Chain A
Amino acid sequence: MSPSGFAKTRVLVVDDFDNFRMTVMRMLQEFGAEQVDTASSGSDALRKCRAAFYDLVLCDYNLGHGKSGQQVLEQLRHEKLLKNSALFVLISAESSKNIVMAAYDYEPDAYLTKPITAMTLQQRLERLFRQRAEMKPIYDALDEDNINAAIDRCRGLIDSNSRYRSHCQKLLGQLLLSSGNYVAAEGLYRQVLDSRELDWAQVGLAAAKKGQNDWMAAQQWVEQALGVSDMCMPAYDLLASIQLERGDFAAQQKTLEKAVDISPLSVIRQQNLGALAFRNQDMAVATQAYKSSVKLGEHSCYDTPQVHLQFVRACSELSRRDPEQGKAYARDVMRVLGEFENRFGGGFDNRLLLHSAACAFKAATGDVAGAKSLLGDLRERTEGQTAALEARIDWVSACDAMGEREQRDELIKALLDEFKGDQQALESIDRVLESPVSDKNRKRVADINKKGIACYDSADFTGAVACFTQAAAEFPKHVGIELNLLQALLGSLEAEQGGAEQLDKALATRDRLEQRVPVGHAQASRYAQLKAKLAELAHQFSSDGQ
Chain B
Amino acid sequence: MTEQHLPVDFSFVLASSVHDMKNSVGMLMQTLEQISASLSPQDPQQRDQLAVLGYEAARINGELIQLLALYRMENKRMLVQIDEHYLDEIINEQLARNDILFRSRSIDVEVDCPEDVCWYLDAELLGSVVNNLLVNAARYCKSRIKIAAAIVNDELHLVIADDGRGYPDFMLKEPMATSNSVSFSQGNTNLGLLFAGEIARLHRRGEQVGRIELANQGVLPGGEIRVILP
A residues within 8 Å of B by Cβ? Answer: 19-20, 23, 26, 93-97, 100-101, 113-120, 123-124, 127, 163, 166, 196-200, 229, 231
B30 at the interface (CB under 8 A from A): yes
Stretch among B93-101, B157-165, B177-185, B214-222 lining the A interface: B93-101
B49 within 8 A of A: no
Q: Which of A19, A23, A114, A231 contacts B29 (CB 8 A)?
A: A114
A120: chain B residues at CB < 8 Å are 93, 96-97
**Of listed A94, A120, A124, A229, residue having the most chain B CB within 10 A:** A120
> B-side binding surface: helix, strand, loop or mixed?
helix
Q: Mark B81-123, 1 if CB is under 8 A from A, else 0.
A: 1111010010011001101100000000000000010001000
Within 8 A of A (CB), among B63-94: 65, 68, 77, 79-84, 86, 89, 92-93
Complex contact B93–A124 (CB within 8 A): yes
A124 to B26, CA, bound (A): 19
User: A115 vs B100: C-alpha distance in the bound complex, in angstroms?
Assistant: 13
Q: Are A229 and B29 in contact (CB under 8 A)?
A: no
Whether A196 lies near B120 (C-beta < 8 A) is: yes
Task: Give chain B nearest CB distance to A84 CB in angstroms.
Answer: 21
Q: Is the CB of A114 within 8 A of B30?
A: yes
B124 on the A face (CB < 8 A)? yes
Task: Evaluate contact between B81 and A229: CB separation under 8 angstroms.
Answer: yes
Task: Report whether A127 and B97 are in contact in the complex, using a CB–CB cutoff of 8 Å.
Answer: no
Q: Is the CB of A23 within 8 A of B81?
A: no
Give the chain B neighbours of A123 by CB distance below 8 A.
92-93, 96
Give the chain A neighbours of B65 by CB distance below 8 A: 95
Contact between A20 and B30, CB atoms less than 8 A apart: yes
Known contacts A119-B99, A166-B84: A114-B26 contact under CB 8 Å? yes
Contact A116 B30 (CB under 8 A): yes
Complex CA distance for A20 and B27, rounded to whole angstroms: 10
Residues in A with CB closer than 8 Å to B4 are none
Given the known inter-chain contacts A93-B23, A198-B83, A229-B81, please indicate yes or no for A115 contacting B33, CB distance below 8 A: yes
In the complex with contacts A120-B96, A123-B93, A198-B82 CB distance below 8 A: yes
Contact with A along B23-44 (1 / 0, CB 8 A): 1001101111110010000000
Cβ-based interface call for B22 (8 A): yes
Please pick, from B26, B97, B120, the residue contacting A117 in the complex, using a CB distance under 8 A.
Answer: B97
A168 to B97, CA, bound (A): 28
A118's partner among B23, B37, B81 (CB-CB below 8 A) is B37
Chain A: minimal CB distance from B20 (Å): 10
Partner of A200, one of B83, B96, B100, B205: B83
Separation of A113 and B33 alpha carbons in the complex (Å):
14
Complex: how many Å from CA A292 to CA B124? Answer: 30
Find out whether the CB atom of B79 lies under 8 angstroms from the CB atom of A101: yes
B93: A residues at CB distance < 8 A: 120, 123-124
Is the CB–CB distance between B124 and A19 below 8 Å? Answer: no
* Shortest CB distance A232–B (Å): 9
> What residues of chain B lie closer than 8 Å to A26, measured between beta carbons?
37
Chain B residues whose CB sits within 8 angstroms of the CB of A197 once the complex forms: 205
Whether A94 contacts B120 by the Cβ 8 Å rule is: no
**Residue among B83, B124, B205 making CB contact with A166, cutoff 8 Å:** B83
- Which residues from A are CB-within-8-Å of B205? 196-197
User: Which chain B residues border A127 with CB–CB below 8 Å?
Assistant: 89
Cross-chain contact B33 with A116 (CB below 8 angstroms): yes
Q: How far is the CB of B183 from chain A (nearest CB, A)?
A: 28
* Residues of chain B lying within 8 A (CB to CB) of residue A119: 96-97, 99
Given contacts A96-B124, A100-B79, 7 further A-B contacts (CB under 8 A): A19-B31, A97-B124, A114-B30, A123-B93, A196-B120, A196-B205, A198-B84
- CB pair B124–A95 under 8 Å, yes or no, is yes
Q: Given A93-B23, A93-B26, A123-B92, are A19 and B83 neighbors across the interface (CB < 8 Å)?
A: no
Q: How many Å from the CB of B193 to the closest CB on chain A?
A: 21
17 contacts between A and B (CB under 8 A): A19-B34, A23-B37, A93-B22, A93-B23, A94-B22, A97-B124, A100-B79, A114-B26, A114-B27, A116-B30, A117-B96, A117-B97, A120-B97, A196-B82, A196-B120, A197-B205, A199-B81
Given contacts A23-B37, A115-B29, A120-B97, are A97 and B79 in contact (CB under 8 A)? yes
Assess A117 versus B83: contact at CB under 8 Å? Given A20-B30, A93-B27, A94-B23.
no
Return the chain A residue nearest B120 by Cβ. Answer: A196
A127 CA to B88 CA, complexed, in Å:
11
Smallest Cβ-Cβ distance to A100: which chain B residue: B79
8 A Cβ contacts from B202-221 to A = 205
Kindly state the separation between the CA atoms of A163 and B31 in the bound complex, as whole angstroms. Answer: 36
Chain B nearest CB, measured from A91 CB (Å): 10
Q: Contacts A97-B124, A115-B26, A119-B99; is A23 near B83 (CB within 8 Å)?
A: no
Shortest distance from the beta carbon of B210 to any chain A beta carbon, whole Å: 14
| Contact A198-B120, Cβ < 8 Å, known A115-B30, A120-B93, A124-B93 | yes
A96-B123 Cα distance, complex, nearest whole Å: 11
What is the chain B residue whose CB lies nearest that of A98? B79
Min CB gap B76→A, angstroms: 8
A229 in contact with B120 given A23-B34, A94-B23 (CB within 8 Å) = no
Complex formed: what's the CA distance from A114 to B97 in Å?
Answer: 10
A119 vs B68: C-alpha distance in the bound complex, in angstroms? 26
Residue of B nearest to A263 (CB): B79
A115 CA to B65 CA, complexed, in Å: 13
Q: Which residues of chain A are within 8 angstroms of B96 by Cβ–Cβ distance?
A: 117, 119-120, 123
Contact across chains for B82 and A199 when beta carbons are under 8 A apart = yes
- Give the chain A neighbours of B30 by CB distance below 8 A: 20, 23, 114-116
| Min C-beta distance of A87 to chain B, whole Å | 16
A59–B101 CA distance with the chains assembled, in angstroms: 27
Assembly CA distance A120 to B58 (angstroms): 14
Give bound CA distance, A197 to B120, whole Å. Answer: 10
Nearest Cβ in chain B — how far from A182, in angstroms? 23
Cβ of A59 to closest chain B Cβ, rounded Å: 16
The 10 closest A-B pairs by CB, nearest first: A115-B29, A93-B26, A119-B96, A115-B30, A166-B84, A120-B96, A93-B23, A114-B26, A231-B79, A97-B79
Min CB distance B162 to A, Å, is 22
What residues of chain A lie closer than 8 Å to B29, measured between beta carbons? 114-115
Cβ contacts under 8 Å, A114 to chain B? 26-27, 29-30
In the complex, which residues of chain B have a beta carbon less than 8 angstroms from the beta carbon of A101? 79
Kindly state the separation between the CA atoms of A123 and B26 in the bound complex, as whole angstroms. Answer: 20
* A112: min CB distance to chain B, Å: 10
Complex Cα gap A407–B31 (Å) = 68
Closest to B122 in A: A97
A97, B202: Cα distance in complex, Å: 15
Which B residues lie within 8 Å of A163 (CB)?
Answer: 86, 116
When chains A and B are docked, how far (Å) is the Cα of A117 from the Cα of B97?
7
Taken together as a complex, chains A and B put the C-alpha atoms of A33 and B93 apart, in Å, by 21
In the assembled complex, the CB of B51 is this many whole angstroms from the nearest CB of chain A, namely: 13
Q: Which residues of A contact B34 (CB under 8 A)?
A: 19, 23
A251 shortest CB reach to chain B, Å: 23
CA distance A198 to B81 in the complex (A): 9
Q: Which residues of B have CB within 8 Å of A124?
A: 93
